[in-house]
Structures are given as C-alpha cells and as structure tokens.
Amino acid sequence: MLPGWALHTSFLTSAAMSAPWLGVAVITAFRRQDRALGCIATLLSILASTALVWRAPNGESLYPTLMLLFSSLTLGAILLLPRRDAETGTIAGILVLMGSTLLAYSTGDLLVLLGAWILSIVPFLWAGWFRSRTWRPMVGLLSSSLAISLAVGFMVARTGVSSISHLKGQSPGGLVAFSLLIVAAVFRKGIIPAQAWVADAAESGPLVPTALFLNGHFGALLVVKLIVPLFPETDHLFPVLSYLAIATAIFVAIRALAENSPRRLLAFLALSQSACILSGLESRTAEGITGALVHWVVVTVSTVGLFGILRLLEVRFGENLSASRHLGLAEHAPRLAVSFAILGLALVGLPGTLGFCSQDLLIHGTLTTHPLTGLLLPIATAMNAVSFFRLFTRLFLGKRRTGFTVMADALPRERWVLAGIVLFVVFGGLFPNATVIEHSSEVDVVDQTIRTIDNLNRDKGYSSTNIQRPNPNATPIAVREVDAAEQRPMGVHR
Amino acid sequence: MNVFQDILIFVVVAPGAVFAAFALLWLLGWTPSERLLSRATGLTFSASTAGVAALIWKITSASSITVAFGSWFAVGNYHFPLVLMVDRLSIPFLALAAVLSGLIGQFSATYLHRESGFLRFFLLLYLFAFGSLLAFAAGSFDLLAAGWEIVGITSVLLIGFFERRPAPVENGLYVFGIYRACDIGLLVGIFAMHHWAGTASFGSAFPNLIGRQTVIVCLLLLLAASGKAAQVPFSGWLPRAMEGPTPSSAIFYGAISIHAGAYLLLRAQPLLAQSVLASSLVVLIGAATAIHGTIVGRASADAKTSLAYATLTQVGVVFIEIGLGWRWLAVAHILGNATVRTMQYLRAPSMLHDYHQMHSAIGGELSPTGKQIEEMLPERIQLWLYRWALDRGHLDTMIERWVIAPLSQTSTYLSRRERTRAPSPTTIRPGRAVEVSTAGPAERSH
C-alpha cells in the first residue's frame, strides 16, 4: 500500500511536473535510449496525473484532466516519432514543452504561470531545437510573451500579490492589464490578425513538437485562468474576443480552401477549429462552455494524431507532399489512411466521434449568445470539413505511385498509438455522457466567476449572463479510461 | 422493456456492431475473408429483416414503439435525447433499409468478388445501414441528424470507391461539399427548435412553434432535404455520384439516401402544414426538380445517369405530394420508386445482355416506342433545350461560378498576400526532401 503522503495533491502535482524535467536532465546527460527515457518520464507524469484526477474533488478536476491529457498525448507523440526524428534534442525539447505546459496548467501563481509560458517557447526560439525557419513564429511568440510579461508585471506591481485566487474579481491592473492579456492570448492562439505564424511554424518547424506546442492551448488557458476570473469589470469587452475568434475560424477556413501544403492546411484546420474554443468559452452558456472544454480535448487529440500521421507519411514518401494532385498513398498505407480519416472527421464533427458532441454543444452555446455571428461557426466547420476531405483524397486516393516498398503502413508501435487515439475519439463519441458531464462540473469554475461578475453588474444595474447550471452528478471520466487503454503494453518495436 | 423494444434496438445496432468489430480487428492487423464477410452480411441483415417483420406485425396493433435511453449527453437545460421510435411512417423506411441492405450485400458478394476494395465496400455498407436505420428509427431530429451525417459520409466514400481514377475521387469531394453546405440547414434548424420550443422530438413532444419561427425552421429543414435529395439547385451532384460501384448507386441513389430528404420533410409535416410559404416552396422546388430531371434525363447518354434522373424526377413529384400534404401517397410513391429503381440499377450493367436476349426472343430489334413529347416543341426550342439538358441545366456551372470560384479566388488572394510576406516554403524546407515518385525504401529512414 502507498503511504498517505504519496497520494497528497501537492506531492502528486510535484511528481507530475518534475518527471519531465528529470527526464530532460537524464537524457541530456546520457544521450542514449532517448525514446525509452522519454516514455518513462511521461509515464510517471501520467500516473501522477491519473492519481490527481482520481483524488480531485468534484468540480476541480479540470486542470488535472488537462495534465493527464497532455502527458498522455506527449507519450503518444514520443512513440509516434519516426526514428529519424527521435534524437536527443527532440525528445528533450518535447519534455521541456511538457514540463512547462503541466506547470502552467497546475499553477495558481501569476509569476509561475509567466515562467511556464516563457519556458514553453524556449525550444521554439533556440536554433538547435525547434526554431522555425521563418520570422513570423518567433515574432508571434515573443510578442505574446512580452504582452503577458507586461501584464503580469503590471498586476503584481499594482497589487503586490501574485496569487491568482487572491486576485479573483479584483481587476488587477485595470484595462491596461486586461488589454495586454488579450493581446497575449491573441498572439499565442493565432487569433486574427496574428494567425499567420501558426501555419508558418507548422510548415517550417518540426511537425510533432509543433503540434504539441499548439495543443497546449495557452491562449485558451489564459482566458479560463486569468481573463475571465480576474476581470469582472471588463465583462462587456469579452464578446470582442468571441467575435475575433469566430472571425478567425471563418477567415482561416476560407484561407485553407486553396492551400496545397499539407502541413499548412492541417495547421489552418487546427487553428480554425481551436478558435471555436474561445467563442464557446465566451458564450456564457453551460452548453457553450462545456462544448468548448470538450472541443479542447477533441482538437488536441485529433490534431496531434493528424500531424503525427503526416510526419510518418513524410518520412516514408518524401517531405514534399502536396495536395495539388492525387498521391494514392492509401494503397501503401491503408491503416494510416483510415486513422487519418477518422481523426480528421472527428475534428470537424463526424457523428459517432467526440467531435460531434463538442460541435453540437458549441453551436448551441454560441448561437444562443450570438445568433448572427454564431451562424458563422457551422459555416466555418463545413468549410473545414471540405478542406480536410480534399487533403485526405489528395494524399491517400488516386493513382498508386510506384517506387515504395510494402513496409509503408503503420508499424506495430505506431499502430497501437493510433488505435488508442482513434478509440478515444470514437468511444468518447459513443459514450459522451461520462466525458461531457464530467466537464459540466468544470463549468462551475467559470460559472462561479460569471456569478461574481453578475453580482457586481447587478449592483451597477445591469446583468447579461444566461448561464445554466450543469448536472452536478459527475461520473467517472472517459478520458481516464481511454488514456488507460493508450498505456497498454506496446507492440513489438522494430 | 418488452421484446419489441429489444428487437428495435437489435435492428438498429446490429449493423453498427458488426461494422465496429470488423473495422477494429482490421485496424489491428487482421483482414477477414470474402466468405466470412458475405456470410456475416447475410446473417446480420436476415436477422434485421426478421426483426423488422416482427415490428411491422406489432405496429399493426400499436401506434408506435418507443425505446428511451435517456440523454446521449446533457448539459444544463439542453440534452440530446437518445430515443428510438418506430411508427407507421418510419416502419416502411426501416423495412426498405434492412431488406435492401441485405439484398445489396448478397449481390455485391458476387459482383465485387476479388475486387481490391471488397472489405472496404462491406464495411461502408454496414456503416450506411446503421446510419440509415438510425435516421429512420430516430425519435428526434437530433438523432436523425446523427444518422443523416453517417449516411452522407458513407455515400461520399463509396462514390470514391474506385480510388485509382481521379474522377470518382473529385466527384466524391464535390458531393461532400454539397452535403456539408446543406447540412448546415439541419444543424441550425435543430438548434432553432431547441431554442424556441425547447425540444426537437417527434411524437407527442413535437416542437410547438409559431409564426415566423415555423417558417424559418421549415426553410432550414428544406435546405437540408433539398441537398440530400438532389433537388434543384443542388441536382448537379447526382450524376457525379454515379461514379461509385453499381450496388452502392442502387441502394443510395435509387432507394435510401435519395429519399432521406423526403423522409425529413415527412417528419416535419406538422410544421410544414402551418406554413403556406414553406409548403409552397416545397411544391415549387419539387416541380422544378421534376421538370429538370425529365428534360436532362432525356439527353443522358449512359444508363446509370438516365436512371439517376428518372429517380430524381420521381423524387421531385414526391416533394410536390409532401408540399400538398398528401403524406401517405408520398410514402407509397417512395416505396414503389425505391424498389423499382434498385432493381433497374442492379440490372444496368447487364442492360446490353438483356436487350440481346429480348431481340433474340422476338426475332429482331425492338420497334421505336413512338413520339417523344419534346418533338411537339418548335425546332429552335428543341435545340436550346438539348443544349440546356446536355449541361444539366447549368446548375453545376452556377454553383461553380457563384459559390466555388469566389471562395477559391478569395482563398488564393489571401494565400498570395501571406506568401509575399514570407519566404517561399521551397526555400526553407530542409535539404533532405525527396520526390514522391522516387522515394527510397521506407524502412531505411524508419
């Protein structure tokens, strides 16, 4: 039996966060068995995060769940990495990314959040790691970091307090800090007008680490963790963020229609779909917020899988893949093709996948709050579906290309990871109640904040919220079950 | 829960469960034999058909059979009802889907023997059967939409079945675009029902809408129905869908999928009856489609396209009947049209053989059938109509010019603006790029 301290929340949080940093230290010191060491580090984080989710009180499992999700995805990403990419630097960089992301999810301190934010971009600024070959990603990331640094500095200087819970509802730093935080979220999330860096990062940087980086969703985290709880007085400005998010979703969806670079196209799809998260969070309805949180999970899982498959295809068939003609890769790699199709269709809301539930809730939530602009959301999703299907048909269908060996389909190691991811989105879609209701209890977090806002606003003579209370009877979360399935013993490695 | 409720669950879930089992095992590395697949198909759909027969027997004495599982998911006041329901409207459609899926499965076991996509076809057939049975047995518009989407995606994947040729693949993409665009109507219509009436269920809890709300919801549902049923102005996708294998054309565009739009309108009949504007529009669209279908069908050069337009003409007439409120006539018309067209589609590959047999039986060629109605028109109009029919009423051209081209041009313009401010990707890509057609062995780099 485990001693009591081993199950204490602070110990588990420390264990989940320190495992990747320990992994970085060991990998850089030994420089051998990088993939295995990376897997061990992420497994330790997964175990600690699972215990955290298990022990979290009802309504407080959002961040442990996100930690579990991100650490599980990191494990999947490390296993999916082709041998060509699984170098010491890449694995160490991925672990740095994971360590900083978990730190950002779990912290309740402004300065620690700022540190995690900056640490997460370090691998993407350093030429030896994941730095992009174009200027936009660096400018985007530095701008977001500068904005959040100024915002945090301003808030701490004005109040002398760095604890987020102590600053709740106090609008620390006023409109200046609020604006800086919005700027930071806009740059980090790739919201219009700062959307171009995301595609550049995906195209000219390392694919799998970039996918993990984008799916940390630090922009959305900033909204949930700081902007909504800390700034009730600027309540009337929140819709601006929603309008920007919806504009991003539709703009990027149109932009993707004529894109032929698979990397850029996937980045646009991921960006357009993840922009919906912000509009859902801002919708101030239980459906919208729950839809946004479930969509967060769907986008994260699907896009990491899609980027991973694309990288596997590049390694097998060459890095100049293009959607301008049919490549007929399905005959060489049918299982990669099917996994790609399922994950892509889940991303755009195919029934039977978790994406259908999240889209349904998001559309209901957003249309309730913004009947006209909300209409753009299903239109953007429809365009994304067409773009994704075009990419799928161009990559996988068409006349068979010659010159490949028969060993092009998913290897056992990759097959088990992809099967786990596919099972997650499918079983999540078939039995969404567990996932959705569990996340509904997390709506309480945002709900309480909005109630505070409403109380303040009512004192001033106006009220705008129409939030509905979720079902409080939380059930065991599906994420746990499927992540456990992902941790099954792997198949034989080549 | 009584035995008929169990049977209803079995009928809907059985094809989905078989699909899931085969798909998962294949994903993990196992490929079932043709014999196993065809036997499993026969067994599954025979059992489903027997189940539907039992449901028909029960429906003669009960108005409906309902199975409520509660909510698929629920948040706040919104919930996605998971309710299966068969009544006298849905049971003919359920029977049609179960029987024809089994027949097509048996036909395809021979027709697609040793075809490289044999397993893919059967998996998609199972998924299609599950989607259509779910749509027809749904107890609410929400669940109907889930089945509707599954039917759509399987339809598109089967159009691109012969994936080595670019034409089927590109046509599948076109059809997918039309489906997705029109399905926005269904999604927003369902949202509107929830928003205004608090429910999107059929039966006793049917959405109670008033005035303008009814018109808006009806128009949104009509958009979805028109897209699925290839009504004007979306008819252009139907001949493109003929690229798929004949058995799938038979069940999709002769029987089930093409009539799903009509089923949606039949379900929404209580709403349509309240709105003269929406009913008139249904009649108008149906009439336009019937005229369009009969004219274009006369200029079609191949058997499957002629059959597609013949089906379309009849579906147009069905829309007229629904718009006029002749509900049961529409149901009878759908059943007759679906069964006859399925038979005709399945015989289409043997058409020449059939003609040869007829010629040898009568000892010569068949005599001309007589005067065509278009011959009564002035020659100039005949010529114009012929050109119009050859271009299929310019419907595709209009969609291409007014929807696809502007979107594509906007996207290209945005792309150019983006590229002018960043280095070209070809200059920044790492040096180890390999041309697709000359890539080396996969395991070397793996």
Size of interface A-B (CB pairs under 8 A): 216
Q: Would you state the pLDDT for residue B443?
A: 36
What is the structure's pLDDT at A107?
92
Q: Does A356 touch chain B (CB under 8 A)?
A: yes
**Cα A405 from Cα A316, distance rounded (Å):** 9
Please state, in angstroms and rounded to a whole number, the distance separating the CA atoms of residues A9 and A62: 14
Number of other CB atoms surrounding residue B397 within 10 Å: 12
Residue A23 CA to residue A13 CA, distance in Å, equals 16
How many angstroms from the chain centroid is the CA of residue B188?
20
State the Cα–Cα distance between residues A350 and A426, nearest whole angstrom.
Answer: 10
Higher pLDDT, A474 or B17: B17
DSSP characters over B137-183:
TBSBHHHHHHHHHHHHHHHHHHHT-STTSHHHHHHHHHHHHHHHHHH
Domain-embedded: residue B74 = yes
Note whether B75 contacts A: Cβ–Cβ < 8 A: yes
Residue B353: Cβ-neighbour burial (10 angstroms; 0-12, 13-18, 19+): exposed
Assigned domain for B242 exists: yes
pLDDT digits (tens, 9 = 90+) for A128-147: 777 777 888 999 999 999 99
The closest CB to that of A419, out of B27, B411, B437, belongs to B27
Question: Which chain A residues contact residue B411 at CB under 8 A?
Answer: 254-259
Euclidean distance between CA atoms A100 and A485, whole angstroms? 25
Q: Does B410 touch chain A (CB under 8 A)?
A: yes
3-state secondary structure of B93: helix
| Mean per-residue pLDDT over chain A, rounded | 84
Report CA torsion sign: A171, A174, A178, A181.
negative
* Residue ranges, chain B, pLDDT below 50: 423-446
The owner of tokens 């919801």 is B217
Nearest by CB: B445 against A84, A133, A379: A84
pLDDT of residue B79: 85
Which residue of chain A is at minimal alpha-carbon distance from B418? A196
**Between these two residues, A171 and B227, which has the higher pLDDT value?**
B227
Domain locations in chain A as residue ranges: 1-106, 108-230, 236-473
- Residue of B24, B149, B353, B292 lying closest to A422 (CA atoms): B24
- CA A367 from centre of chain: 23
Q: What is the DSSP letter of B444?
A: G
In which region does residue A398 sit, left (phi positive, over 0), alpha (psi from -120 to 50) or beta (all else)? left
* B residues 132-171 lying closer than 8 A (beta carbon) to A: 142, 145-147, 149-150, 153, 156, 160, 163-166, 169-170
Question: In this structure, is residue B229 part of a structural domain?
Answer: yes
Contact A254, A198 (CB under 8 A): no
Q: Worst-scoring range by mean pLDDT, A152-156, A279-283, B142-146?
A: A279-283
The predicted structure's pLDDT at residue A302: 96
Banded pLDDT at A472 (limits 50, 70, 90): very low
3-state DSSP of chain A = CCCHHHHCHHHHHHHHHHHHHHHHHHHHHHCCCHHHHHHHHHHHHHHHHHHHHHHCCCCCCHHHHHHHHHHHHHHHHHHHCCCCCCCHHHHHHHHHHHHHHHHHHHCCEHHHHHHHHHHHHHHHHCCCCCCCCCHHHHHHHHHHHHHHHHHHHHHHHHHCCCEHHHHCCCCCCHHHHHHHHHHHHHHHHCCCCCCHHHHHHHHHCCHHHHHHHHCCCHHHHHHHHHHHHHCHHHHHHHHHHHHHHHHHHHHHHHHHHCCCCHHHHHHHHHHHHHHHHHHHHHCCCHHHHHHHHHHHHHHHHHHHHHHHHHHHHHHHHCCCCCCCCCCCHHHCCHHHHHHHHHHHHHHCCCCCCHHHHHHHHHHHHHHHHCCCHHHHHHHHHHHHHHHHHHHHHHHHCCCCCCCCCCCCCCCHHHHHHHHHHHHHHHHHHHCHHHHHHHHHHHHHHHHHHHHHHHHHHHHHCCCCCCCCCCCCCCCCCHHHHHHHHHCCCCCCCC
Minimal Cα distance from B444: which residue of A? A316
Alpha-carbon span A319 to A322, nearest angstrom: 9
Residue B77 forms contact with A (CB below 8 Å) = yes
Mean pLDDT is lowest, of A172-186, A205-219, A408-422, A426-440, for A426-440
Enclosing domain of residue B108: 3-351
* Residue keyed to tokens 């679906």: B338
The amino acid at residue A265 is L
Residue B389 within a domain:
no
Measured in angstroms, the CA of B431 and the nearest CA of chain A are apart by: 10
Q: If we measure between CA atoms, which residue out of A107, A167, A154, A61 comes closest to residue A452?
A: A167
Beta bridge pairs of residue B80: B73
Interface residue of B22, B140, B436 to substitute, partner A, most A CBs within 10 Å: B436
Given the structure tokens 């005067």, which residue do they identify?
A: B371
Please determine, for residue A459, whether its predicted confidence score (pLDDT) is greater than 70.
no
Q: Does B125 map to a domain?
A: yes
Confidence bin at A289 (pLDDT 50/70/90):
confident
| Contact flag A433-B72 (C-beta cutoff 8 Å) | yes
Q: Does a structural domain hold residue B410?
A: no
Q: Which residues of B143-162 are buried (b: 16+ CB within 10 A; e: fewer)?
A: bbbbbbbbbbbbbbbbbbbb
- Range in A7-11, A289-293, A412-416, B180-184 the model is least confident about: A7-11
| Residue B36 falls inside a structural domain | yes
**pLDDT over 90 for what percent of chain A?**
48
Q: Out of A33-37, A44-48, A461-465, B427-431, which region has the weakest mean confidence (pLDDT)?
A: B427-431
Instruction: Domain count for chain B, please give it.
Output: 1
Q: What pLDDT shows up at residue B439?
A: 35
Q: Which two tokens stand for residue A385?
A: 């579906």
DSSP B205: G
| Alpha carbon of residue B17 to chain centroid | 21
C-alpha to C-alpha distance for A281 and B122, rounded to whole angstroms: 41
Alpha-carbon distance of A122 to A24, in angstroms, equals 14
For residue range A172-226, list pLDDT tens digits in order.
888 899 999 999 999 999 998 888 999 999 998 899 999 999 999 999 899 888 9
8 Å CB contact of A399 and B164? yes
Measured between CB atoms, does A310 come within 8 Å of chain B? no
Q: Are A199 and A87 in contact (CB under 8 A)?
A: no
DSSP element (H, E) containing B232: none
Residue B254 · residue B344 · CB < 8 Å: yes
Q: Do B411 and A258 touch (CB under 8 A)?
A: yes
- A436 pLDDT band, cuts 50/70/90, is low
* Main-chain phi, psi angles of A168, to 5 degrees: -55, 130
Backbone region of residue B272 per phi and psi (left: phi > 0; alpha: psi in -120 to 50; beta: other values): alpha
Does residue B403 sit within a domain?
no
Euclidean distance between CA atoms A63 and A449, whole angstroms: 16
Specify the pLDDT at position A491: 31
Preferred mutation among A85, A130, A257, A366 to probe B, highest tally of B CBs within 10 A:
A257
Minimal CA–CA distance to B93: which of B221, B260, B247, B231? B260
Q: What is the pLDDT of residues B394-425, one digit of tens each?
A: 999 999 999 999 999 999 999 988 876 554 44
Fill in the amino acid letter for A214.
Answer: L
